[in-house]
Structure 1
Amino acid sequence: MGDVLRRAAGLGPADPLLRTVTAADEAGWTAAELLADAERVAAGLLARHDPGSRIATCLVNGPEAVLLQLGVALAGMVLVPVNPRSRPPELEHALRLSGAAAIYAAEDAAGNPAADVAEELRDGLPALTEVHRCTGDWRALLAGRPAQLPTVAPDALAQIQFTSGTTGRAKGVLITHAGMVATSHAFRERIGLPEGGVWINPMPLFHTAGNVLGTMGALWQRAEHVVVAFEPARVLALLAERRATLLSAAPTLLDLLMTRPEIQDADLSSLQVVFTGGQTVRPGFVDRVESVFGAPLITTFGMTETCGSALLSAPTDPDEVRRTTVGRPLAGTDVRIASPDGTPAVPGEPGELWVRGARLTPGYHQDPVATAEAIDREGWLHTGDLAVMDATGACRIVGRLKDMIKTGGENVSPEEVEEAVAGHPSVARTAVVGTPSERWGELVVAFVVPSAGADVDPVELERHCRDRLSPFKVPRAWRIVDDLPMTASTKIQRAELRRMAAADPELHPAGGPARP
């Protein structure tokens, strides 16, 4: 990753390469300045930690998140970016499993006192020797004196990112330098724009969409990377002020932008590409985005396990490809639509989407069982998504084998939410499913069987869950039922619960998808 930054600085030292915009401050870096500051961050880290150390961050989008991502990489250490809205049990799990030696945490992350939480957890985490409180003063990171930086191998571990899977607690996905570099380069090549430009990136930097496709993709592009926390009015203003050429935003964020009255007067004429991913989009949504923003919408299929992207449509693709598919495999990616026996499906027939290649994770941190379940002996990652591939290699996602819920571009494990809900004394049994939503992709719905003699209060259950789960994991709808549908082997019939949720008129008025 450091080589990509050095390349950008060498080709155009005075080119604008980074701009960060927060409610309190705005700052900009040329390519040479960004390299110099990232090297100072690396030197400061090396004065206190050995190469290979795990350095956690719990930050909103801003200068500290970018400088630490690049500084940790240059120092040959491993970044552990954690959602800044994580609740204490989630943050504790990430810090303990990763063995983080230090954490840089925001004092106020969208109302979450992440730094205070980290301080409270510190005594119970022997590996955690440092808690740094981040207030937005990024210059505090530049305390390191010049130092000899280590040589970092391409296959060295770069990050451990935590993602909810289909079962249990979040798993630590291992991400290498080579995977990040290959994916961001292929992403930039597929977009096909001339070098330079301005990329507006409100995608969270604790995810691959933000820090691989965004931070690293912009370095390859040598674009001015404008990092901003998502706030609709501010993003719309930046699109015009910076003469943006690319906007990166999840479907949920695009939908919110399009509902703002300010968009009617926003100057979007510089936009050449709008990029999205994280959930399935429908043709009508693509048409709406392209009409409002005046630029082609390109869509990716990716996972944390694939560094954020494995397939991607292109701005020059025919309308039908952009409107109905997630495009074709990126360079260096093999894709198979697998029949139940694992053999390739006939073109046009649905099957499970398998991927392999340079961008693929080596596995899950300290979890060989989960790794073996996800990646077979031939190196294929079994995504759990059902897809159809046409004769040109373009893929359309048609469903999902796994029970994982995708809401607002985030993965939610039903079992993790069920564990939190079941911890309330009024709950005897519970099951959690997703139901389609035009805005969010899916809504999290909880079916609850009350304990004997108990009155279930959804408001109290929501408050209970918010103390234990990130906000996006908290059920948006509660349904109190006498019993849960079960199979003969006493397994919950999630398909039946999804059918019940889909037929619920409160969730889907007039038969349409839920749109809260």
Structure 2
Amino acid sequence: MSTPKVDSPPTPLSVVSGPPLDDEPGLGTLTMPGFLREVTTRFSDREALVLHTPEGVIRWSYTELWERAVEVARALRATGLGKDGRVGVLMTNRPEWIAAVFGTSLAGGVAVTLSTFSTPSELDYLLDISEVSVLLYDHKVLNKDLTAVLTDLDPEIGTAAPGTLQSAKYPFLRHLATVGGEGVGAIESWDVFLERGQSEPRELVEATAAAVKPSDTAVLFFSSGTTSKPKGIFSAHRGVSIQLWRFCQIYNFGPDDNIRCWSANGFFWSGNFAMALGNTLASGGSLVLQTTFDATEALELIESEKVNFPFAWPHQWAQFESAPNWATADLSSLRFVDYRTPVARHPSVTAEWIEPGYAYGNTETFTISTILPANTTEEQAGGSSGKPLSGMTVKIVDTLTGDTVPLGERGEICVKGPTLMLGYLGTPLSETVDDEGFFVTGDGGYLDAEGRLFWEGRLTDIIKTGGANVSPLEVDEVLVGHPGVKVTRTVGVPHETLGEVVVACIVPHDNAQLDPEEVRTFVKAELASYKVPRHVLFFTDDEVTLTGSAKIKTSEIRELATKRLAPATQ
């Protein structure tokens, strides 16, 4: 008697979705004006932010934050800004940055966040491709005079009268205003810029803000990608607002926690904007702002402002312990600090909390798309990068065919959901997503039976150092301009606190005498500091294998560099 044939169940595929977005608690209005209006009404008299300056301490309540954003919106309307007009915001973490970005949204515009780390050549590129019509910026960032940089880039900026700028170099740029500096040529001081808006009816600003739709374009953030230049990423109000609301749920923060968040990480990076700024404002807390990171000053701010939630990158934590006031600082106010960070070892700190660090995200999804909540243990996380957030779907595909692989198999991570970008600047969205609408990330990993994502590294060569992305192609384009460089390949080498460090691997021309520090100085003149190679290594033709186009093979040179630097990168 034959045994009946029993069909085996189909092998499950590597596709996992989070809970329905409608079931997510804590989400409010899904526009940036709506978010700001809700939190400033709910927490009106509470302190929203504080900034210590040489001239004194600035403190804004939530009500004042709303008023300052309305002031910016009225001034922008007075410049003629209309719906979807682009406003560049080139500032450090200061009150005016927040007022400018939200003020732009209240006026119906698109906030274009620009990195203050940009070198003149990088800023020139960003202004050109972003096509901003208004630029609001810090007069000085450390020793960098941005007014001088701008007028050097286009002398017309320094000679045209305010409101009359007609720049052949930046044909869309019409108005500039600076915080902390005097008006020069077409550039207005901040006070004069705000005075422009006094004749604009407040009711029109409020009507414009109310007319903004969740599907409208909200922001343009920049991120390095697989190309050598930064990519502009458009995000809708819906996606940005979801992330602004949701992180206080993930962190389990509420009004009774009286969150006081210190961060010196630029809000022009989406992760800091959502997780530090959004998290704090959505829970009724206060942002303790530091315009540029200095470990000594940061410890002073934590002590004097009774910070309980510090938001820092690993390389910043490491600098705390070497600060001269480390031993004497009273950091006992710190409550929401991960017990594994160096600051948790301070004698005045009692740390048992676990930050939601098991996560994966991209600027293209306006930061995190998979995560596990606060106080998830290492055993519970199992080495994963968390589970998909509400509304998000993750799949793993074969890198060659694009087919979804069986559950547990490795491949390329693809994501989609309500926070997915509207598209890249200058590129149709259809060219950046697959036939099912998934963004193909270029990262490798797998999903397990519990629905957890395991990120295993980038299939592309992007270097992630200290929380920032660096394109090796961008660094190499500068290095090949050095007269002594024959071929070069920049790679990321693992580092204990930075994640990776940027390492330039160079084969010099015959008889060329290259010095590592001289090469670093050469790059520093063209690129932001975090893109400058931490190490410069020299190799001979015999030590490396070149491709047919005279490029160094990445995998081999990364291995050689890692071995050579092993003692230095721990």
Fold match, TM over 0.5?
Answer: yes
In structure 2, relative to structure 1, the CA distance for the partners of 1:406 and 1:133 (3 Å cut) is same
Cα distance, 1:410 vs. partner?
A: 1.0
Work out whether residues 220 and 235 of structure 2, in 8 Å CA contact, stay in contact via their aligned partners in 1. yes
Distance 1:325 1:28 in 2: 40
Residues 432-441 or 476-485, more deviating: 476-485
1:498 maps to what in 2?
Answer: 558
Q: CA deviation at 1:325?
A: 3.4
DSSP-derived class of the 2:424 partner: coil
- Out of 509, 527, 530, the position equivalent to 1:472 is 530
Q: What amino acid is aligned across from residue 329 of structure 1 in structure 2?
A: P
Match of 1:188 in 2: 248
Please say if residues 22 and 62 of structure 1, whose CA atoms lie closer than 8 Å, have aligned partners that are also in contact: no
Any idea what SS the aligned residue of 1:503 has?
helix
What secondary structure is seen at the aligned counterpart in 2 of 1:217?
helix
Equivalent position of 1:44 in the other structure: 75
SS at match of 1:46: helix
Q: Cα gap change, 1:372/1:455 in structure 2, threshold over 3 Å: closer, same or farther?
A: farther
Of the structure 1 ranges 232-241 and 47-56, higher mean CA displacement relative to structure 2 is found in 232-241
> How far apart, in 2, do the equivalents of 1:133 and 1:322 lie?
46
Q: Aligned match of 1:131 in 157, 170, 176?
A: 176
Structure 2 counterpart of 1:7, from 24, 38, 53: 38
Q: CA deviation at 1:378?
A: 1.5
Return the alpha-carbon distance in structure 2 between the equivalents of residues 454 and 485 of structure 1: 20
Deviation digits for residues 185-233 of structure 1 (CA, Å, limit 9, x no counterpart): 2222111122242222222121112323322332221211222232222
Equivalent in the alignment of 2:512: 454
TM-superposed CA distance for 1:402, in Å, is 0.7
Query: How far apart are 1:140 and its partner, in Å?
Result: 5.7
Query: 2 CA distance for matches of 1:503 and 1:474?
Result: 21
User: Are 2:288 and 1:226 aligned?
Assistant: yes
The residue that corresponds to 2:269 in the other structure is 207
> Alignment RMSD, CA only?
2.5
Q: Distance in 2 between matches of 1:208 and 1:322?
A: 24
Q: Secondary structure at the match of 1:366?
A: coil
**1:416 corresponds to 2:474:** yes
Partner residue of 2:569?
514
User: Which secondary structure state, in structure 2, belongs to the residue aligned with residue 324 of structure 1?
Assistant: coil
Q: Which of 296, 301, 312 is residue 354 of structure 2 equivalent to?
A: 296
1: CA distance, partners of 2:419 / 2:44: 29
Cross-structure match for 1:279: none
Structure 1 counterpart SS, 2:112: strand
The Cα shift of 1:481 comes to 2.3
CA pair 159-407 structure 1, distance change in 2 beyond 3 A: same
2:62 matched residue in structure 1:
31
Higher relative contact order (CA 8 A, sep 6+): 2
| 1:281 match | none
State the shift of 1:323 in Å: 7.9
Q: Would the alpha carbon gap of residues 310 and 26 (structure 1) be closer, same or farther in structure 2, given more than 3 Å must change?
A: farther
The runs of 5 or more residues in structure 1 that have no matched partner are 276-284
Question: Residue 423 of structure 1 aligns to a residue in which SS?
Answer: coil
Instruction: Using the aligned pairs only, state the percent identity.
Output: 30
Q: Which residue of 1 aligns with 2:366?
A: 307
- What is the distance in 2 between the residues matched to 1:323 and 1:111? 45
TM-superposed deviation, 1:47: 0.3
Task: State the alpha-carbon separation in 2 of the partners of residues 460 and 219 from structure 1.
Answer: 45
Moved more, 447-456 or 286-295: 286-295
- Report the alpha carbon displacement of residue 339 of structure 1 after superposing the two structures with TM: 4.0
Q: CA deviation at 1:76?
A: 1.2
Provide the rounded CA distance (Å) in 2 between the counterparts of 1:258 and 1:379: 46
Q: Which has the larger radius of gyration?
A: 2
SS in 1 for 2:415: strand
Residues 1:338 and 2:397 are matched in the alignment: yes
In structure 2, relative to structure 1, the CA distance for the partners of 1:139 and 1:310 (3 Å cut) is farther
What is the alpha-carbon distance in structure 1 between the residues aligned to residue 343 and residue 444 of structure 2?
A: 25
Residues 403-442 of structure 1 deviation map (CA, whole Å, 9 limit, x = unaligned): 0111111111111111111112222221111111112211
Task: Please identify, of 108-117 and 481-490, the stretch whose mean Cα deviation from structure 2 is larger.
Answer: 481-490
Residue pair 2:488, 2:551 contacting (<8 A) in 1 also: no
Instruction: Report the secondary structure of 1:298's partner residue.
Output: coil
In the aligned structure 1, how far is the partner of 2:397 from the partner of 2:421? Answer: 20
* 8 Å Cα contact 1:290-1:296 kept in structure 2: no
Which residue of the other structure, out of 407, 426, 432, is the alignment partner of 1:366?
426
The alignment status of 1:164 with 2:227, answered yes or no, reads no
In 2: Cα distance, 1:9 partner to 1:287 partner: 33
CA contact (8 A) 1:37 1:142 kept: no
Q: Give yes or no for contact 2:318–2:342 (8 Å, CA) kept in 1.
A: no
Contact 2:463–2:472 (8 Å) recurs in 1 = yes
Alpha-carbon distance in 1 for matches of 2:382, 2:327: 24
Q: Which residue of 1 aligns with 2:308?
A: 245
Distance 2:526 2:476 in 1: 11
Residue 73 of structure 1, CA deviation:
1.4
**Do the aligned residues in 2 keep the contact of 1:17 with 1:31 (CA within 8 Å)?**
yes
Q: Does 1:66 align with 2:66?
A: no
Residue 209 of structure 1 aligns to which amino acid in structure 2? G
Q: How far did residue 87 of structure 1 move?
A: 1.0
Measure, in 2, the Cα distance between the counterparts of 1:475 and 1:316: 36
Distance in 2 separating the partners of 1:344 and 1:403:
23
Letter aligned with residue 415 of structure 2 = V
Instruction: List per-residue Cα deviations over 1:124-179 (Å, max 9, x = no partner).
Output: 22222223232179656542224312121212112211211122211111122111
Stretches of structure 2 lacking an aligned partner (at least 5 in a row): 1-31, 157-168, 182-188
| Count of residues in correspondence between the two structures | 499
Q: Distance in 1 between matches of 2:55 and 2:295?
A: 16
Listed one character per residue, the Cα deviations across residues 24-64 of structure 1 (whole Å, up to 9, x for unaligned) are: 54211111111111101110011003222211122122122
Residue identity in the other structure for 1:30: S
CA distance 1:498–1:55, change in 2 (3 Å): same
> Equivalents in 2 of 1:287, 1:457: separation in Å?
36
Superposed CA deviations along residues 80-122 of structure 1, whole A, max 9, x for unmatched, are: 1211121111101111101111222322212222222122223
- Mapped contact 2:392–2:418 kept (Cα < 8 A): yes
Following superposition, the deviation at residue 451 of structure 1 comes to: 3.2
SS at match of 1:39: helix
Change (3 A) 1:268 1:354: farther
> Which residue does the alignment assign to 1:100?
132
Q: 1:23 Cα deviation (Å)?
A: 5.0
Please state if 1:401 is matched with 2:433.
no
Q: Residues 61, 153 of structure 1: CA spacing in aligned structure 2 closer, same or farther, 3 A cutoff?
A: same
Structure 1 Cα separation of the partners of residues 385 and 345 of structure 2: 19
* Pair 313,233 (structure 1): closer, same or farther in 2 beyond 3 Å: farther
Distance 2:104 2:171 in 1: 21
1: CA distance, partners of 2:51 / 2:397: 43
Contact 2:447 2:454 in 1 (8 A): yes
The code of the aligned residue for 2:569 comes to A
Q: 1:457 to 1:301 in 2, by over 3 A?
A: same
Deviates more, 1:297-306 or 1:17-26: 17-26
Give the Cα separation in 2 of the matches to 1:19 and 1:75: 25
TM-score (norm 2): 0.81
CA pair 325-141 structure 1, distance change in 2 beyond 3 A: farther
